[in-house]
Amino acid sequence: MSARLVVLVSGAGSNLQALLDACTDPAYGAAVVAVGADRVGAGGVERARSAGVPAFELPLEAASSRADWDAALTERVAAHAPDLVVSAGFLKLAGETFLARFGGRFVNTHPALLPSFPGMHAPRDALAYGVKVTGATLFVVDAGVDTGPIVAQVAVPVADDDDKATLHERIKVAEREMLVEYVGRIARSGFTLDGRKVTIP
Ligand code: GRF
């Protein structure tokens, strides 16, 4: 039976699209059962609907407090009984309620080699620092900002003439491939956690 994925997005949803495409192969072992966004009109929601996947939009501004938003997000996601929740360009931090429910089965992809350059502006920060190699990281979400145990990483070279957009685009190509490979492996085999060490059997 396929693992049930709920994917959270904020933007264009190219990572989501890569997962949707991978899930068309039954051997992949996963199905995207719902997509959630923290804003109205995210490209990812359109991609979900085009693929016939139910999608919901839950803007923070529509909730009376951050805690209420977190509780509502938890309920909306839980309604789809996910085995794994994938944050794929979801630009909000999940709160306590969400983590209590989905901690240990909630992964996020980040466009840098953590622990370098956490936060919202990783490609810009990597360029400003002058690194020659950056990349992407898939990690198990914990209560910190991009601090959770690392599942997988991929390195990407920085070009001399990169700006943050060209660098981010190059990262995203590698990031999508990593995300598809490792979400599939987790879907088929699960993973174990020993301290910070993640192992996929
Ligand atoms: C990805 O690079 C993700 O790591 C970052 O934002 C980008 C989302 O891209 N947080 P998309 O919406 O999947 O195209």
Per residue in 74-133, pLDDT (tens digit) is 999 999 999 999 999 999 999 999 999 999 999 999 999 999 999 999 999 999 999 999
Per the CB < 8 A criterion, the answer to whether 19 and 86 are in contact is yes
Q: What is the Rg, in whole angstroms, of the alpha carbon atoms belonging to the chain?
A: 16
Whether the CB of 123 sits within 6 Å of ligand 1: no
Q: Where are the alpha helices (DSSP H) in the chain?
A: 14-22, 43-50, 66-78, 96-102, 122-129, 164-189
Ligand 1 atom nearest to 10, measured from its CA: 12
pLDDT band for position 171 (cuts 50, 70, 90): very high
List of domains in the chain:
1-102 (3.40.50.170), 108-201 (3.40.50.170)
Whether the CB of 87 sits within 6 Å of ligand 1: no
168 a catalytic residue? no
Cα(83)–Cα(13) distance, integer angstroms: 21
Question: What is the model's pLDDT at position 1?
Answer: 82
| Chain segment 33-82, per-residue pLDDT in tens | 999 999 999 999 999 999 999 999 999 998 999 999 999 999 999 999 99
Distance 13 CA to ligand 1 centre (A): 7
Mutate to test the pocket of ligand 1, among 15, 125, 171, 183 (most ligand atoms within 8 A of CB): 15
DSSP secondary structure code for residue 94 in this structure: -
